[in-house]
């Protein structure tokens, strides 16, 4: 899988990204790339700059300097709309849902389906949303309720459905399982593997080491805004990653751990 | 199958907002019944049409106000913008322009005030409360400065048509040669209100801009991340509010057949009260035009009924204040459940 994918051009390549807030360097010279059908874990403790880096890629924030290449051509991502036009979809940790609106309205927020006369096409949005949500969770029934009344899992499903409904090529998932119970977490893991097999590239921000080792092909660890290590998942173990996250360096005398086996 | 069952269940059970609307409608009915007992002249065709006429100005303001409130903002400038729009139209007529284009330009002047509100709120990032409070003073100041605080009168009979004309007016000549009004007709302002309310409801419910207004009010951050142009949506809502305030100005000044630069003081509070009584949430994301229209009529009927019963204007202020607080309190209780 890894060898096959590296021969392609990367879906996304971020080169030497810097982000400054006043005098604070949130992201300093980070480069990362993502190939089709690959899951890259972006790790680091809170404030390490991983969310900031991903927000730059999703168009919610713009970089101070550095370049983003989508399919090897430079891309300017000034707004979430720009990112979406390149097929980059994001599932935010906060889910970015409008609590007073129902599931279809949230799924199509900003990209409402319209009839010939430019009116909102409610029936079609409802059918499409029903289908998209049932694929992820067959028990999803109360579609017309405001999403504030739904469970954490259902809300997560809406946020995920919103990203994949529009045929994402690159998916950014920010802590997708943080608010979920065990069965829902398993559902999200299955989904990630399914999307991966369909050739979608996924950036996974996670704190859960179990998820990371189960799902990721590669990991990148950030510490104080810098990229302190990018590895194939087979080359590292939990302790290596924790050391990178906490200290920013690998343990003494580290050698790649059986990546070639 | 379960789909159909669910749909029919939802149709029978009123949801939160329609429950609120229902209770507001019941309040309105109750008020009408009570006032019918306190004053014999209250429950008559003539008085009904008077209420319709009196409520149309507040109703027009409430349509725009509701849109702004749903975005999570507030527009305190509508009363002043109403006066400025009237002054602009009056001065243009004095300058020789015919009534209709002058009124269109007056309404347009209101929309420009709203547009400026929108720009200040979105681009300068000043809170809606402060922005529109500033515009309230600026618009009133311009209106008073332009006219020297004096009313503009002798605007011609045509200027009074919009506010005083009516459809289906039936007048019968009596044997003694005096005309007798059989049916006073449906006043133009009421018809205008109906058209604008339907248009507003259509925009809010069926068009993308309406959906975006709700999204922005529900969660501005979510709307922005989902690709909604938040600034454009807000500017649109404030411009609509300003334009409707301008239109309300035309109706009010036309009814008086005189432009009064100091008309419309505190009208914004009636409009806000109408929206809130009708179920709009000042936190944003919730509200409807139909609810706000019921709210406007509750205030209109309350004013009219209290007048007919001989209640003083001061007592009326107290009662309406208590009603607004009560409506918001009931809404909160409902939301907690």
**Kind of pairing between the strands at A88-91 and A73-74:** unpaired
- Which of B206, B215, B285 lies nearest to residue A109, judging by beta carbons? B215
SS3 of residue A69 by DSSP: strand
Which pair of tokens denotes residue B195?
Answer: 């058209």
CA closest to A105 among chain B residues: B211
Q: How far is A217 from chain B (nearest CA, A)?
A: 28
Residue B204: per-residue pLDDT: 95
CATH of the domain at A48: 3.40.50.300
With a CB cutoff of 8 Å and minimum separation 6, the contacts of A187 are A136, A137, A153
A167 torsion bin: left (phi>0), alpha (psi -120 to 50), beta (else): left
List domains and CATH numbers for chain B: 16-172+179-336 (1.10.3470)
Domains held by chain A: number:
1
pLDDT under 70: residue ranges of chain A: 1-7, 258-261
Is residue A97 situated within a structural domain? yes
- Please answer yes or no on whether A142 and B6 come within 8 Å at the CB atom: yes
Enclosing domain of residue A27: 2-101+167-246
Residue A7: per-residue pLDDT: 52
Which pair of tokens denotes residue A151?
Answer: 């469970």
- Please answer yes or no on whether B227 and A142 come within 8 Å at the CB atom: no
Q: Which of B285, B277, B293, B327 is nearest to B201 (CA)?
A: B293
Which residues partner with A20 through β-bridges? A25
B223 CB within 8 Å of a chain A CB: yes
pLDDT under 50: residue ranges of chain B: 1-12
pLDDT tens digits for range A107-157: 999 999 999 998 999 999 999 999 998 888 887 888 888 998 888 888 888
Which B residues 106-145 touch A at CB under 8 Å? none
Give per-residue burial for B108-132: e unless 16+ CB within 10 Å, then b. ebbbbbbbbbbbbbbeeeeebeebb
Residue B8: per-residue pLDDT: 46
Task: Choose from A101, A122, A161, A165 for mutation: most chain B CBs within 10 A.
Answer: A101
Q: Which of A132, A101, A155, A142 is nearest to B9 (CA)?
A: A142
Residue A258: per-residue pLDDT: 64
CA closest to B229 among chain A residues: A110
Is residue A14 situated within a structural domain? yes
Is residue A64 situated within a structural domain? yes
A55 CB within 8 Å of a chain B CB: no
List Cα–Cα distances, B26 to B17, B275, B298, in angstroms: 14, 16, 10
Alpha carbons A204 and A16: distance in angstroms, whole number: 20
Which pair of tokens denotes residue B193?
Answer: 């209100």
Q: How far is B7 from chain A (nearest CA, A)?
A: 9
List phi, psi (to 5°) of A228. Answer: -100, 5
Q: How far is B112 from chain A (nearest CA, A)?
A: 26
Contact (Cβ atoms closer than 8 angstroms) between residue B160 and residue B259: no
B262 CB within 8 Å of a chain A CB: no
Residue B200: per-residue pLDDT: 97
ipTM associated with this complex: 0.85
């Amino acid at each position: 899988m890894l060898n096959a994918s590296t021969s392609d051009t990367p879906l996304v390549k971020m080169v030497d990204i810097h982000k400054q807030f006043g005098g604070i360097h949130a992201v300093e010279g980070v480069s990362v790339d993502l190939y089709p059908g690959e899951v890259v874990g972006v790790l680091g403790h809170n404030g390490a700059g991983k969310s900031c880096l991903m927000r730059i890629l999703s168009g919610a924030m713009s970089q101070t300097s550095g370049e983003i290449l989508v399919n090897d051509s430079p891309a300017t991502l000034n707004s979430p709309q720009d990112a979406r036009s390149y097929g980059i979809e994001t599932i935010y940790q906060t889910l970015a849902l409008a609590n007073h609106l129902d599931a279809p309205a949230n799924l199509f927020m900003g990209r409402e389906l319209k009839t010939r006369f430019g009116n909102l096409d409610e029936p079609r949005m409802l059918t499409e949303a029903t289908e998209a949500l049932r694929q992820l969770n067959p028990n999803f029934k109360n579609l017309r309720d405001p999403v504030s009344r739904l469970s954490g899992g259902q809300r997560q499903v809406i946020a995920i459905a919103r990203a994949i409904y529009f045929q994402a090529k690159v998916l950014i998932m920010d802590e997708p399982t943080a608010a979920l119970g065990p069965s829902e977490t398993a559902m999200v893991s299955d989904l990630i593997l399914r999307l991966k097999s369909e050739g979608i590239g996924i950036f996974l921000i996670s704190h859960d080491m179990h998820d990371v080792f189960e799902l990721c092909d590669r990991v990148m660890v950030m510490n104080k805004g810098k990229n302190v290590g990018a590895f194939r998942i087979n080359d590292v173990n939990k302790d290596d990653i924790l050391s990178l996250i906490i200290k920013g360096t690998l343990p003494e005398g580290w050698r790649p751990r059986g990546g070639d086996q | 199958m379960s789909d159909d069952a669910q749909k029919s269940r939802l149709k029978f059970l009123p949801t939160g907002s329609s429950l609120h609307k229902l209770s507001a409608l019941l309040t309105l009915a109750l008020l009408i019944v009570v006032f019918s007992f306190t004053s014999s002249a209250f429950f008559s065709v003539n008085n009904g049409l008077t209420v319709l006429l009196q409520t149309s100005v507040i109703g027009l303001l409430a349509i725009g106000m509701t849109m702004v409130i749903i975005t999570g903002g507030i527009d305190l400038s509508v009363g002043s913008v109403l006066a400025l729009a009237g002054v602009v139209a009056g001065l243009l007529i004095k300058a020789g322009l015919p009534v209709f284009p002058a009124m269109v330009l007056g309404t347009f002047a209101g929309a420009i005030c709203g547009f400026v509100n929108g720009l200040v709120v979105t681009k300068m990032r000043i809170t809606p409360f402060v922005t529109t409070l500033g515009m309230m003073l600026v618009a009133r100041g311009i209106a008073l400065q332009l006219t020297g605080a004096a009313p503009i009168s002798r605007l011609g009979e045509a200027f009074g048509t919009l506010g005083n004309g009516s459809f289906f007016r039936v007048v019968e000549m009596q044997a003694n040669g005096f005309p007798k009004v059989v049916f006073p007709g449906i006043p133009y302002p009421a018809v205008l209100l109906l058209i604008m309310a339907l248009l507003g409801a259509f925009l809010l419910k069926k068009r993308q801009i309406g959906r975006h207004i709700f999204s922005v009010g529900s969660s501005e951050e979510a709307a922005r991340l989902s690709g909604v142009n938040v600034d454009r949506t807000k500017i649109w809502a404030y411009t609509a509010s300003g334009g409707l305030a301008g239109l309300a100005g035309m109706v009010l000044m036309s009814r008086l057949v005189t432009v009064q630069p100091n008309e419309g003081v505190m009208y914004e509070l009636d409009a806000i009260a109408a929206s809130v009584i009708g179920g709009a949430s000042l936190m944003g994301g919730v509200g409807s035009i139909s609810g706000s229209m019921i709210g406007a009529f509750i205030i209109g009927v309350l004013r009219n009924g209290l007048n007919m019963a001989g209640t003083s204007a001061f007592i009326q202020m107290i009662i309406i204040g208590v009603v607004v607080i009560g409506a918001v309190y009931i809404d909160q209780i409902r939301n907690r459940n």
